[in-house]
Amino acid sequence: MRYVRFGKTGRDISVLGLGCMRFPVKGSYSEIDPHAAGEVLEKAVHEGINYFDTAYPYHGGNSEVFLGEFLGKELRKKVNLATKLPVWKVEKTEDFDSFILEQMKKLRTDFIDFYLLHSLSADTWKKMKELGIPEKAFEAKKCGKIGFVGFSFHDSYDVFREIINYRDDWDFCQIQYNFMNENFQAGTKGLNLAASKGIPVIIMEPLLGGNLACPPKKIEDVWQKAEVKRRYAEWALMWLWNKKEISLILSGMNTPEQVMQNSQTADISKPGCLSSEDMSLFEEVKNTYLSMKHFNCTGCSYCLPCPSGVFIPGILALYSDLLMFEAPENIKNRYRFIPEEKRADKCTGCKICETKCPQNLKISELIAEFEKIRPHDPLIDVPSSDVKKEEKND
């Protein structure tokens, strides 16, 4: 395994980290298969992966518990453990202390190496600032509960810039990034901004929820033009490791074979590992994907604000990806990150957004289509009868 010095932390971190959001399960998402997931973790340790990333909501709250049980006392000493504050659940400043104590108990540790404010957006960031949560996190660092403080991010570049400029002492940040997402959310501009400030960047969704590892036939035909044949996942990971600004890539590997394959790719990848011919092929792959888009939303956000609060650019991006990649599970996972009050079903069809769209898209129709065909998700789509039943029980 290849390691890098992780910014100013002084830690030598494996360039490949294990994302603990997609462990093998027995049935429902919350029921982790202990044998299969244990094999993945054992293989990760064997391959030299020393950064494990989990979070409060992963696997219905069971990821932290399972990881804590697996690591015990001995393995805990060998890995860097990362988890995240569920910012959407924080209502008062004191909640920070409650959550971190709960998480340390679940993880069976009295020290969390890397702690993140989870999935920051404009709304959650505003709330975190008002409650003084960043300051609480850095106080916990001084007290020895946390090794390093960072944040994960899902919003526009402008919001990312505001957050990263808020403090000079962020230890790291985490963004969604891959060869199809150069201009999505923080994007390349955010990556370069963080690097210019000496802040290490961790990459999540390197394979876009697995979409880039299982491309449609039209994309496979383009990849076959490569002189050196590689796995599709290998191409996508190498594109990231080709960039010197990237410190660590997280992958939600759920089989020992995936761990071994990605570890092998990490060993042969470094800045400059791709040729000019390789980069030209990436451009052709990207352009082929884009030619498969069913509508041309540029993500300019001119449609906002929506009178009903709908997160129009995010939902249109999900709809476009659903049609382009034909991967409903990925869309289901990503849709969970959109707050309930901003989801597609809140659209009233007022069409005010359509008067502001430079692309003249029939946005209200697209939103309605997405709501109709999107994959059903038992974690967020609770039947009204069940809701009434829960309210009665409360």
Judged on CB neighbours under 10 Å (0-12, 13-18, 19+), 138 is middle
Mean pLDDT of the chain: 91
Cα distances (Å, whole numbers) of residue 271 to 17, 237, 242, 267, 362: 18, 12, 4, 12, 43
Q: Average pLDDT in the 108-131 region?
A: 95
Q: Average pLDDT in the 157-184 region?
A: 94
Instruction: Say what the pLDDT of residue 386 is.
Output: 42
Q: 93 versus 295: which is more confidently predicted?
A: 93
Residues 271-300 pLDDT 10s = 999 999 999 999 999 999 988 888 888 878
Q: Average pLDDT in the 218-230 region?
A: 93
Whether the upstream peptide bond of residue 134 has omega within 30° of 0, thus cis, is no
Rounded to 5 degrees, what angle do the CA atoms 29, 251, 200 make?
125
Per the structure block, which two tokens stand in for 7? 């910014």
Residues 317-358 pLDDT 10s = 889 888 888 778 778 878 887 888 999 999 999 999 999 998
- The model's pTM is 0.84
54 has a pLDDT exceeding 60 = yes
Q: Average pLDDT in the 227-236 region?
A: 94
Instruction: Tell me the DSSP string of 142-186.
Output: HTTSEEEEEEEE-S-HHHHHHHHHH-S---EEEEE--TT-TTSTT
Q: Alpha-carbon distance 132 to 140, whole Å? A: 13
Query: Domains along the chain?
Result: 3-281 (3.20.20.100), 293-394 (no CATH)
- Of 43-52, 271-280, 376-385, least confident by mean pLDDT is 376-385
Q: How confident is the model at residue 81 (pLDDT cuts 50, 70, 90)?
A: very high
